[in-house]
Amino acid sequence: MNTQISPAAEVPPGRFGAYGGRYLPETLMAAIEELEQAYAEAGADPAFQAELAGLLKDYAGRPTPLYLATRLTRQLGGAKIYLKREDLLHTGAHKINNCLGQGLLARRMGKRRIIAETGAGQHGVATATVCALFGMECVVYMGSEDMARQELNVYRMRMLGAEVRAVDAGSRTLKDAISEAMRDWVTNVRTTHYLLGSVLGAHPYPAMVRDFHRVIGQEARRQILERESRLPTAVLACVGGGSNAIGIFYDFIPDAQGDARVRLIGVEAGGRGAALGSHAARFQGGSPGVLQGAYSYVLQDDAGQIAATHSVSAGLDYASVGPEHAALHDSGRAEYVAATDREALEAALRLARTEGIVPALESAHAVAECIRLAPRLSPEDILLVNLSGRGDKDMGILARELQLGGG
Amino acid sequence: MPIAFQNAEGLKPGLVIYLTVGDQGLKTTRDVALAALDAGADVLELGVPFSDPVADGPVIQRASQRALAAGTRLEDVLALAGELRRLRPRCGLVIFSYLNPLLRYGMERFCERAEECGVDGVLATDLPVEEAGPHLELLRRRRLKPIFLAAPTSTDARLRAIAEVSEGFVYAISRTAITGVRRELASDARGLVERLRRVTGLPIAVGFGVSLPEHVAALAEFADAAVIGSAIVSLIESSTPESAPVCVAEFLRGLRTLPHPAGTACGSGRP
Ligand SMILES: Cc1ncc(COP(=O)(O)O)c(C=O)c1O
């Protein structure tokens, strides 16, 4: 297979090694160039940065706490476990970091209409929130399967004034919502900003969304050094598109040498098992390909058709992964493992019962890997887990799967 | 083969016909393709069905789903091109695909097979000029013409870059939209063609939303060819495999002769 896409002579913008790039229909190319330009200007503008920092602090609730999970640590009898509490942010997940950033950027570009896709509904809720705050029109595309399993978030988006459009195509999940949002953007490109919710899609989205989430790792690195005077053994995060993971990983990437080397572990959705169609573990069963604007690992069949995916968690249920993760995977700087539906559900229950924290099912995948790993390490080791969101939205699924019906 | 927009009768504008290969079965695509050529089509765009066609509207999305459900693969599209080339040596044949099925097949292997099958050109919807570099070389080595989309939103700098690497013709998108049948021909189209004329001497085909004789007549004034996609795919959807070739031929004959002939057993392909 020919996987070498980038020309040798001239490296196109937005590459992470061989991955990333800009694979879009021509209609969107001018808009993506405009976005790249606007983002570069905003990044260099202290007023933009100051306004964003103010909103992150006073509106979203940053910095988030770093919490030492003492009971879980004692129970597992190995490494010390710290949780980065993104679940305590306004709207209940890390997604608000990116939405505030892109919302300000859209305002700067003079775009009054915002569209977004959502899987778990957390990105949709955060987008609807920011649109309400800035007085912008908001349309959120959501697979009808996801609307059913994350019903609470559908109501939250409507409460905030957003229009939620059901997507009935394909598997009726995140991938199909992204396709529909892209079709809307192609049609309304002159007036509309596409507020993409993860480190996916064409350049500059993967780099820009990462930059807006970098604050997670910047805070966590400072907090752990204050508390422990040393770096963690490993940083763990769930990987859907990969935004919360790259957000917490990024400032630890240079910590790659010798004794102080920090392992970076991304946890994908192992779903029901290893068969294609039963999971969303791109680094287990996927191969390089192009989907929705970027070259990255993709779950696909031998004809290059995108495979169906499954995860109990809507936010991880996607056939591709952010291109920067693909590069971190190939270079070996980050490791990617999978946790099954069952492991994630059990991890959610365990965290609820030992620490009084109900994690989002997405985040529960990272907790599951932590539960597996901690007992194999020594008390001198430190695990830093990104608790990307809280589980309120998942109570329906948790009640069903964990038989919380009582009686 | 040069791609030429002059059919036997010298009718203007040229007609480019898009078909999703394998929709209603490969035999239907073959029969419709032959009927379209015999009804005056100059160029066929053979669409490779893809699971996630982000630039397409509901009509072509549904056709792609049907074609995939019938098991259509890139190899089938190439084999059909080979057969059409044997049967109609002078027609233009363009493979129209999203990038991923080509990557998975292997771009080098694809180009080799496409040349063998007598394909003239290749258009990948989600491959803009800046990502095309290494693919261009592979295409040219096999004498395949790289064809690119130009959009009303494309800046002049982008149009120049597109003109520089295009061969055969430039495909001008009439509006900022996904594919689909529309009532009005967008006013964007003429402006885009004028801007393209300043940077290229290649023929310009205009598509997206073209479905009525009025559209085609308007395009005859300023474009070299009209691309008919969703209107044909929609006709095939509402026909039986047996009636589809006749219906498509009748529709195409009507397109270049105003007014549209009334009273037939076929759908109109109209919005
Ligand atoms: C709480 C939470 N964590 C993680 C994710 C997965 O996204 P990403 O991998 O971009 O962080 C989602 C997506 O909906 C989410 O809601």
Angle between the A95-109 and A205-213 helix axes, to the nearest 10 degrees?
120
Residue B187: pLDDT over 90: no
| Contact between residue B153 and residue B176 where contact means Cβ atoms under 8 Å apart | yes
Listed range (A169-173, A366-370, B229-233) with the worst mean pLDDT: A169-173
**pLDDT band, very low/low/confident/very high, at A379 (cuts 50, 70, 90):** very high
Q: Are strands A192-194 and B145-146 parallel, antiparallel or unpaired?
A: unpaired
Q: Cα(A203)–Cα(B242) distance, rounded to whole angstroms?
A: 46
Partner residues linked to B205 by β-bridges: B171, B225
> Is the model's pLDDT at B260 over the cut of 60?
no
Sign, CA torsion B147/A320/A213/A158:
positive
For the beta sheet containing A113-118, the strands, ordered from the edge strand earlier in sequence to the opposite edge, are A163-167, A137-143, A113-118, A192-194
Query: Do residues A290 and A208 touch, judged by C-beta distance below 8 A?
Result: no
At A308, is the pLDDT very low, low, confident or very high (cuts 50, 70, 90)? Answer: very high
Give CA A378 to chain center in angstroms: 30
Q: Is residue B44 part of a domain?
A: yes
- The length of chain A, given as a count of residues: 407
The alpha carbon of A387 and the centre of ligand 1 are apart by a number of angstroms equal to: 10
pLDDT digits (tens, 9 = 90+) for B127-180: 999 999 999 999 999 999 999 999 999 999 999 999 999 999 999 999 888 888
Using CA atoms, how far apart are residues B178 and B125, in angstroms rounded to an integer?
Answer: 11
Q: Residues of B with CB below 8 A from A292's CB?
A: 52, 54
User: Pairing between strand A80-85 and A66-68?
Assistant: antiparallel
Residue in B56, B107, B158 nearest the CB of A2: B107
Q: With beta carbons less than 8 A apart as the criterion, state whether A260 and A230 touch.
A: yes
Q: Which of A117, A180, A343, A346 is catalytic?
A: A117
pLDDT, one tens digit per residue, over A87-146 is 999 999 999 999 999 999 999 999 999 999 999 999 999 999 999 999 999 999 999 999
In a domain, B189, yes or no: yes
Residues B53-76, mean pLDDT to the nearest whole number: 96
Work out the average pLDDT over A55-71: 98
Which residue among A362, A369, A390 has the greatest number of ligand 1 atoms within 8 angstroms of its CB, and so is best to mutate? A362
In this structure, is residue B110 part of a structural domain? yes
Residue A346 has a pLDDT of 98
| Percentage of chain B modeled with pLDDT above 70 | 93
pLDDT-based confidence at residue B10 (cuts at 50, 70, 90): low
Lowest average pLDDT, out of A10-19, A44-53, A265-274, B66-75, goes to: A10-19
**Which residues of chain B lie closer than 8 angstroms to A8, CB-CB?**
134
Q: In angstroms, what is the span from residue A244 Cα to ligand 1's centroid?
A: 6
pLDDT level of residue B4 (50, 70, 90 thresholds): confident
In a domain, B111, yes or no: yes
| B94 CB neighbour count, 10 Å cutoff | 26
Chain-centroid distance, C-alpha A156: 20
Tell me: pLDDT of A407 over 60: no
Q: Does A177 touch chain B (CB under 8 A)?
A: no
The residue assigned the tokens 């937005």 is A14
Q: Is 70 exceeded by the pLDDT of residue B1?
A: no
B267 domain residue, yes or no:
no
pLDDT at residue A63, rounded to an integer:
98
Query: Does the pLDDT of residue A176 top 50, yes or no?
Result: yes
Is there a contact between B120 and B94 (Cβ–Cβ < 8 Å)?
Answer: yes
Of A347-361, B3-17, B143-157, B251-265, the one with minimum mean pLDDT is B251-265
Average of per-residue pLDDT across A70-89? 98
Kindly identify which residue of chain A lies nearest to residue B68, measuring between CA atoms.
A305
Which residues does residue A236 pair with via DSSP β-bridges, in sequence order? A265, A385
Whole-number Cα distances in Å, A20 to A178, A288, A378, B189, B214: 17, 11, 38, 32, 43
Q: How far does the centroid of ligand 1 lie from the alpha carbon of residue A292, in Å?
A: 18
For chain B, the average pLDDT equals 92
The predicted pLDDT at position B268 comes to 62
User: What are residue B70's phi and psi, to 5 degrees?
Assistant: -80, 0
* Angle, helix B74-87 to helix B26-38, in steps of 10 degrees: 40
Q: Strands, DSSP E only, in B68-125?
A: 92-97, 121-124
Asked whether residue B269 is assigned to any structural domain, the reply reads no
Burial of A316 (0-12, 13-18, 19+ CB in 10 A): buried
CB B16 within 8 A of CB B207: yes
Vertex B87, ends B81 and B89: CA angle to 5°? 80
Residue B34, domain member (yes or no): yes
Q: CA A258, CA B120: separation in Å to the nearest integer?
A: 56
- ipTM of this predicted structure: 0.94
The count of structural domains within chain B is: 1
- CB of A241 shorter than 6 A to ligand 1: yes
Nearest CA to ligand 1 atom 4: A362
Rounded CA-CA distance A237/A84 in Å is 10
Cα Rg of chain A, angstroms: 20
How far apart are alpha carbons A279 and A272 in whole angstroms? 6
The protein residue with its alpha carbon nearest to ligand 1, atom 14, reads A315
In a domain, B264, yes or no: no
Q: Which atom of ligand 1 is nearest to the CA of A119?
A: 14
Instruction: Find the mean pLDDT for residues A312-327.
Output: 97
Query: What integer is the mean pLDDT of A349-357?
Result: 98
CA B5 to CA B14: how far, in whole Å?
5
CA distance B182 to B209: 5
pLDDT at A302: 98
Is A307 within 8 Å of A274 (Cβ atoms)?
A: no
pLDDT at residue B6 in the model: 65
A21 touches chain B (CB under 8 A): yes
At B20 the three-state DSSP class reads: strand
CATH number at residue B91: 3.20.20.70
Q: What is the mean pLDDT of chain A?
A: 95
A284-302 burial string, b = 16+ CB within 10 Å, else e? ebbebbbbbbbbbbbbbee
Q: What's the pLDDT score for residue A313?
A: 97
| Residue A145 backbone class (left: φ over 0; alpha: ψ -120 to 50; beta: rest) | alpha
CA-based nearest residue in chain A for residue B134: A7
**Residue scoring higher pLDDT (A342 or B268):** A342
Name the nearest CA neighbour of B166 among B190, B186, B149, B185: B149
Taking only the tens place, the pLDDT of each residue in B20-55 is 999 999 999 999 999 999 999 999 999 999 999 999
Q: For residues B17 and A110, give the distance between their C-alpha atoms in angstroms, rounded to a whole number.
A: 39
- Closest by Cβ to A7, choosing from B128, B134, B148: B134
Cβ burial of A191 (10 Å; 0-12, 13-18, 19+) is exposed
Cβ of residue A242 lying under 6 Å from some atom of ligand 1: yes
pLDDT band at A38 (very low <50, low <70, confident <90, very high): very high
Query: Which percentage of chain A shows pLDDT scores above 90?
Result: 94
User: Containing domain of residue B227, as a range?
Assistant: 14-254
Give A146 Cα–ligand 1 centroid separation in angstroms.
14
Question: Could you give the 3-state DSSP secondary structure of residue A308?
Answer: coil
Q: Is A80 labeled as catalytic in the residue annotation?
A: no
